[in-house]
Structure 1
Amino acid sequence: MARERNERLALLLLEAGWSRAQATAAYNRVAAETLNGEVRENSKIGRSHVSMWVGGVQASGIAPAILCQALSRRLKREITPQEIGFAAAISPAQEALDWRVDPLIALSDLGNGVDTDRRRLLAGGVYSAAALILPDAAWWEAMAAEPPAEVSVARKRVGHGDVETVRELTLAFSRMDQRRGGGHGRRAVDEYLKDEAHSFLRGRFADDETRRSMFSATAELAYLSGWMAFDNSEHAVALQRFSLAVKLAARSGDAPLSGHILRAMAHQALDMGFRHEALQLAQASVHGQRYAAATPRERALLGVVHARALAANRHNDRAAKALLRAEDDLSNAHDGIKEPDRTFFFGEASLAHETACTLRDMGDHQRAVKEFRRSVRTRGAAFRRTHAVTLGYMGATQIAQGGVEEACATWASVLDAMEGGIYSGRARQRVVDMRHLLSPYRKRGIPAVGALDARAASYLAQVD
C-alpha cells in the first residue's frame, strides 16, 4: 500500500524557505546542540531522511522533537509534532514543569545526574513554548503560604550560617560562569543542589525567617544552574531548572527573586524566537511585588528585559518608555541602598547591552551600535563570556548597516575573547552567525573577510 505524502511537513518546509539540504543542516545543528555529543537514533540525518518524511515515512526516536525545534526557530512560533504530521508523546520536559509538583520532589528528581536528566528530557521533546505557561495567582499565594513541613528531630539543624554557605557557593560559580561560560562547572552546581541544598531544605530551621532564606538561596542556585544550561545551549534542561527555581522562590515568598527568574525565562524565550511567550514572561516579571519590592538595580534589570520583549513584539513606543524607566531605576541605585544578598551582575555595561539589543530590534541600528560600544567600554574584558556575546551582537549590527570591515574588526575581538577556555553555547553561536553573515562577501576579495572566515572555521573545528 502506497504511503500518503506528508503535506503538512511539505507546506511548513515551503513556508520556512528550506530545501531538503537546508532542512537537514538546520536539523543537525539543533540535534548537535541538544544532544551534546550523545549518540541517539536520528541524532544526525541526511537529505534522504527529510525526503522520506515528506513522502510519508513516520520519523522515529528523537527526530520529531528535533525537527519541531528547528522549524520553531525558523518560523518564530511553536511547531508541534502533530502540526508536521508526526505522533509524539507529551514531552517529559513539560511534565517536569508541572506546577503541581512540590519543589522538594522536583529537586530530588535531579538525583540521577546530569546525563540521565538530559536523556529523560530528550525522550519526547526539547524546549517547548507550551511549558512557558505560568500558574495562576492562586498558585503563587498557596506556595508563599505553605506551612513548614513536619520534620524529625533527627534531621540536622539549619541556621543562618548554612544559608550563607549556599550563597557563597552561588557567588563563586556565578563569577566562573561570567568568565568561562555555562559549560564549565554546572555538573558541580547540580551535585550540590541535589545533595547538600536538598538536605538543608529538609532540615530543622532555627526559625521561619531562616527557612525562607534557605529556600530563597537554593532558588538562586537553581536559577544559576538554569542560566548556565541556557548559556551552554541546553535549553530543555535550562527550562526545567528555571521552573524549579521559580517554585523554590515562590515557597520562600521572595517576590523580587521570582521576578528575576521569570526575567531569565523571558530572555531565553527571546533567544529561542518565542516572542509572544517572552513578552508574557517579562510582563509577569514586573508585575506587583516582583517589581515594587525590588531594589532600583533589580528593577532596572527586570525593566530592560521587558523593554526587549516589547521591542521584539513590535511595541516600539512602549519599549522606548520601558528603556527610559530602566535607565531611571539604575540611576537611582547607589551605595546607600542595601541590595539583597543576590548574585547578579547588573550595572551600566549590562544596561547598555540590553538597551542595544532593544534598539536593534526596534530597527535603530546606529544607536544600537553606540550602546554596544558603551557596554564593551564599561565592562572591559574581565567577564570574557559576556564580552564575547556583546561583541558578537555588535558585529552583526554593524554588518546589517553595511560596515563589513568594521564588523570583521569587531568579530576578530570575539575570537580573541573566546580563545583559552570559554565553554559557552551562546558565544559559540555568535561565531556560527558570524560565518553565516559573512557568506555573501566571501567571493568579493575583501582581505578582512577571508582572514576572519578562516579563523572562525578553525575555531569551530576545534570546539565541535
Structure 2
Amino acid sequence: MARERNDRLAALLLEAGWSRAKAAAAYNRVAAETLNGVVRENSKIGRSHVSMWVGGTKPTGIAPDILCQALSRSLKREITPQDAGFAASTSPVQGVLDWRVDPLITLNDLGSGVDADRRRLLTGGVYSAVALILPDETWWDAMARPPAEPPLKGKRVVRGDVETVRELTLAFSRMDQRRGGGHGRRAVDEYLRSEVHDFLRGRFVDEETRRAMFAASAELAYVSGWMAFDNSHHAVALQRFNTAVKLAARSGDAPLSGHILRAMAHQALDLGFRAEALQIAQASVHGERYAAATPRERALLGVVHARTLAANGHKPEAAQALLRAEDDLAKAHDGIKEPDRTFFFGEASLAHETACTLRDLGDHKRAVKEFRRSVRTRGAAFRRTHAVTLGYMGATQIAQGGVEEACATWTSVLDAMEEGIYSGRARQRVVEMRQLLSPYRKRGIPVVGTLDARAASYLAQVD
C-alpha cells in the first residue's frame, strides 16, 4: 500500500524556509539541548529522515516532538505533532520537552487565532503523569539568567505597567473566589495573550522592572490555571500552570515558583496522581522556594506538602509537616512584609488543608473540627472556597455516621451554589453528596429525601 504524502509537514517546512538539510540541523540542535544523551533513539537525524517523513513514513518515539519543538522556535508559535501530520507522542521524555517551549509562544497561542481542531485539543486534552515530569535544577538556573540581548524594539515597559497587571490579577482572583473558575477565565486569557504578551516582549527600563513584570505575569497565568482547575478543565489548567512556572523562573522569584508548584501538586492530588503530587510538592519546598519565602508563604507550601505525604501513607512525616506549617503561620505578623501579589492564605486556608490531611490520615473527628474552624474564620468574600470546604466537611461527617449532621452542612453548600457559583469543584461536591446519600435513600429519613431531591434538581439545571 502506497504511503500518503505528509502535506502538513511539507507546508510547515516551506513556511520556515527550510530545506531537508536545514530541518535536520534544527532537529539535531533541539535534540542535543533536550535529551542530553539520556535518550539515544532519534537523538540525531539526517536529511533523508526528513524526506521520508514528508513522504509519509511515520517517525517513532520522541522524534515528532523534537521536530515540532524546532518548528515552534522558528515559526514563533506552538506547533503540535497533530499540526505536523503526526500522532501525539506517549514518550515520557515529552514531559521534559514541554518545559523547553518558550512561554511567550504559549501565551501567543491563547484566546484567538486557534482553529477548531486546536480548540478541541486545548479543551479536551489529556491530563497525564507524563505531563507532570519537572525539569532538573539546571533548567531553573538557566531560566533565571537575564537575557543576553535585551530587545531593541517593542513597547517601553515601566513600573506602572507592572502595577496594572497586578491590579487586574487581584480583581480576577477575587472574582474567582466569589463566583468560581467558570466565570471570567476567557477574559484573563485574552489579556494574557494580548497586553501581557506585549509587555513581556517590550523594552524594560531596568532589570528590576523586567523581573517584576515576569513575576506579575506568572501570577496572572497562575490565576488562569487555578480558575481552569476549579472549573474541572484539568489539561488546560496544567498548561497554564506550566506557563506560570516558566514565567516565575524567568523572574528569579523562587517562592513564587514554589507557590505555583504547590497548586500543581494540589491538582495532581485531587485527580488521584498521589506519587506525582508528592514529587511536585517536595519540589515546591526545595531550596530557596521555601527558604526565601515569608512565614505565611511557607505555611501554604508546607500544608500542601503535608497533604501529599498523608495521601502517600507517610503518616509521621505528614504530622511533622503539619506542625511546621502551623508554626510558620504563627510567625506571620504585621511587621513582616508579604510579597506584592495576590495572596489569600490565612487561618481559614490552613484549617481547610489541615482538615484534608487529617481526613486522609483517617482522623475524621479532628478533620471535622478543622473544617469547622475553616468555615468559622473565612470571610464572606470567599463563597466558592466556602462551598468546597462545606462539601468536604459533610462527606467527613457522613463517614462518621452523622447523616443528619452531614445533610445540614450540605444544605449550606446548595444554598451557596444556587446563588451563582460557577465551579466544577463545587459542583463535584454536589455529585459526591448524592453518591454518599444513596445508601440512606430507602431508610425514610426525611432530611435525606429532601436534600437528595434538591441536589438532583440543581444538577439537572446546570448539566
Same fold (TM over 0.5): yes
Aligned pairs for 1:117-136 (under 5 A) are: 118-121=119-122, 125-136=125-136
Q: Are 2:331 and 1:329 aligned?
A: no
Q: Give the match for residue 398 of structure 2.
A: 399
Q: CA deviation at 1:307?
A: 0.3
Change (3 A) 1:300 1:97: farther
Q: Give the match for residue 29 of structure 1.
A: none
Q: Give the match for residue 6 of structure 1.
A: none
Counterpart CA distance in 2 for 1:405 and 1:455 is 15
Counterpart CA distance in 2 for 1:430 and 1:114 is 33
Q: Are 2:204 and 1:178 aligned?
A: no
CA deviations over 1:426-460 (Å, ceiling 9, x no partner): 00000000000000000000001000000000110
Unaligned runs of 5+ in 2: 1-86
Q: Give the match for residue 142 of structure 2.
A: 142
Q: Give the match for residue 458 of structure 1.
A: 457
Counterpart CA distance in 2 for 1:97 and 1:243 is 12
Aligned residues: 376
Change (3 A) 1:384 1:435: same
Aligned pairs for 1:435-454 (under 5 A) are: 435-454=434-453
Counterpart CA distance in 2 for 1:169 and 1:163 is 10
SS in 2 for 1:119: helix
Counterpart CA distance in 2 for 1:92 and 1:137 is 21
The amino acid that maps onto 1:187 is: R
Counterpart CA distance in 1 for 2:274 and 2:161 is 40
Q: Are 2:219 and 1:220 aligned?
A: yes
Counterpart CA distance in 2 for 1:101 and 1:326 is 34
Aligned pairs for 1:60-459 (under 5 A) are: 89-90=88-89, 98-112=98-112, 118-121=119-122, 125-147=125-147, 149-153=149-153, 155-459=154-458
% identical equivalent positions: 83
Q: CA deviation at 1:149?
A: 4.3
SS in 2 for 1:422: coil
Greater shift in the superposed pair: 421-430 or 112-121: 112-121
CA deviations over 1:204-239 (Å, ceiling 9, x no partner): 101000001000000000000000000000000000
Counterpart CA distance in 1 for 2:425 and 2:377 is 21
CA deviations over 1:407-438 (Å, ceiling 9, x no partner): 00000000011112100000000000000000
Counterpart CA distance in 2 for 1:438 and 1:362 is 23
The amino acid that maps onto 2:411 is: A
Greater shift in the superposed pair: 97-106 or 110-119: 110-119
Greater CA radius of gyration, 1 or 2?
2
Calculate the TM-score normalised by the size of structure 2. Answer: 0.78
Counterpart CA distance in 1 for 2:201 and 2:317 is 44
Aligned pairs for 1:52-67 (under 5 A) are: none
Residues 303, 325 of structure 1: 8 Å contact kept: yes
Change (3 A) 1:413 1:306: same
Counterpart CA distance in 2 for 1:359 and 1:251 is 36
Change (3 A) 1:442 1:189: same
Counterpart CA distance in 1 for 2:381 and 2:111 is 34
Change (3 A) 1:256 1:316: same
Counterpart CA distance in 2 for 1:270 and 1:256 is 21
Counterpart CA distance in 1 for 2:237 and 2:373 is 29
Unaligned runs of 5+ in 1: 1-87
Residues 348, 373 of structure 2: 8 Å contact kept: yes
Change (3 A) 1:113 1:298: farther
CA RMSD, Structure 1 to Structure 2 (Å): 2.0
CA deviations over 1:274-324 (Å, ceiling 9, x no partner): 000000000000000000000000000000000000000010100000000
